[in-house]
Amino acid sequence: MSRITLSALIAGLLFGLGLLVSGMANPAKVLGFLDLAGLWDPSLALVMAGAVLVGLVAFRLAGQRQRSLLAEPMRLPTARDIDRRLVLGGIGFGVGWGLAGFCPGPALVALGTGDMKAVVFVAAMLAGMALFEVLEGQRT
Amino acid sequence: MGWRVAFIAGLVLAPVLWLLFGALPAIQIDAGYPLLIAAGLIVGVSTRYGAGCTSGHGVCGLSRLSPRSLVATLAFMGSGFATVFVVRHLIGG
């Protein structure tokens, strides 16, 4: 395994462990955050704020480099446009997120517990991504 | 093995690593199978269409101070709050 592959694996593990520790891999807890009119659980906002604080420092350091620590070219997102796709995609994602309490990262962590419901959600999510590819292919 | 596959593998293997040291925390999925399938399809299509999710736009995009990601984050937070309100308090209430 190359050092790049290994570092990505460790990053994934760390991200997954963070989601488990913070309770964000638990859809019931996520829905508790999205339920403003119920017994609101602010955890998700606090976890996200904590992650962004760390990210602010990390991306600031990354932005000052031409190459990564493993000497790869830096590849940061370049898209700037705030368009219909971005907003409709965001709104659509929020609907799906609110229906089940799963977003992609936590769903993949839950998949690793072997929970059949997580398996079904991830299968449907991958089907949705494949459906997007098909629809996108027809546009061009 | 590409780095993307390795990263995804790390996410999926996190609970396995956790289990070596103790019992997993609660993962409570209340949605039934039809709802999980519908939600999964919507999340799959939309995160590709909007080019990001809670991690991509929410954590990484906000960390980079991206106006684009701020708009996306406000969009999915808003519709997430609205969806749960409709499901729990209008339909289920």
The 10s digit of each residue's pLDDT in B57-68 is 999 999 999 999
Among the partner residues A91, A110, A127, nearest to B44 by beta-carbon distance: A127
SS3 B62: helix
B17 shares contact with chain A (CB less than 8 Å): yes
Q: Average pLDDT, stretch B13-37?
A: 97
Confirm if A123 and B43 have CB atoms less than 8 A apart: no
pTM of the model: 0.95
- Distance in Å, alpha carbon of B31 to nearest chain A alpha carbon: 6
- pLDDT score of A140: 64
pLDDT at B1 over 80: no
pLDDT at B3 over 80: yes
Q: Look up residue A71 and give its amino acid.
A: A
Residue (of B70, B65, B63, B66) closest to A53 by Cα position: B63
pLDDT at B92 over 80: no
Confirm if A31 and B87 have CB atoms less than 8 A apart: no
Interchain contact, B80 vs A80, CB within 8 Å: no
Helices vs strands, H then E, count in chain A: 6, 0
> Which residues of chain A are modeled with pLDDT < 70?
140
Percent of chain B with pLDDT over 70: 98
Backbone angles phi, psi at A73, to 5 degrees: -65, 140
SS3 B21: coil
Rg (CA), chain B: 17
Residue (of B72, B61, B44, B42) closest to A83 by Cα position: B72
Quote ipTM for the complex.
Answer: 0.95
Interchain contact, B49 vs A6, CB within 8 Å: no
